[in-house]
Amino acid sequence: MAGFGDLVQKAFYLGVGIASYAGEKAGDTVKDARVQAQKILDELVARGEMTAEEAQKVINDMMQRAQEQVSPAASTTTASEPRRIEILEDEEPTEMTAEEQQAEALRQQVAALREQLEALKQQQS
């Protein structure tokens, strides 16, 4: 069973690593696009086809649109409130079998015995 726990842990870390890598790549892509757009707009400003203020406005508009496309869900929720996730069950709850009922009864007995044991330990102390 220890091998299974290690496998689950490694799978979790792999998922976290992939998510981190994807986030970095997305950030790099946005940065690269900004740099390329800035170069093009600088050339237009140098030719006199556009003013520096217009170029800055175009860059800011492009970056704002890119951020809105990357995180449309983030704009609908506030930073102080976590996103709510609802878990739906597809199956109707089934009745417990005789074995499951017996197992549950045994669990309850064990819990009651543990409580009695703790009470006895406290009385002796």
Query: Is residue 121 domain-resident?
Result: no
pLDDT tens figures, 73-117: 444 545 678 888 887 776 666 777 888 889 999 999 999 999 999
- State how far the Cα of 9 lies from the Cα of 17, in Å rounded to an integer: 12
Q: What would the pLDDT profile of 54-78 be if each residue is shown by its tens digit?
A: 888 887 887 787 777 766 544 454 5
pLDDT in the model for residue 71: 62
* Residue 85 resides in a domain: no
On whether residue 40 sits in a domain, the answer given is yes
| Residue 21 counted as domain residue | yes
Q: Could you list the residue range(s) of the whole structural domain that residue 64 is in?
A: 2-73
Residue 72's pLDDT is 55
Residues 88, 52 contacting (CB under 8 angstroms)? no
Where is pLDDT greater, at 27 or 110? 110
Tell me whether residue 99 is in a domain. Answer: no
| pLDDT average, residue stretch 26-37 | 76
Please count the other Cβ atoms lying within 10 Å of the Cβ belonging to residue 119: 10
* Alpha-carbon torsion (69, 72, 78, 79), positive or negative: negative
Please give the Cα distance from 25 to 22 (Å, whole number).
5
Q: Say if 10 falls within a structural domain.
A: yes
pTM of the model: 0.36
H helices then E strands: how many in the chain? 4, 0
Q: Is residue 114 part of a domain?
A: no
Is residue 42 situated within a structural domain?
yes
Number of domains in the chain: 1
What pLDDT score was predicted for residue 88? 76
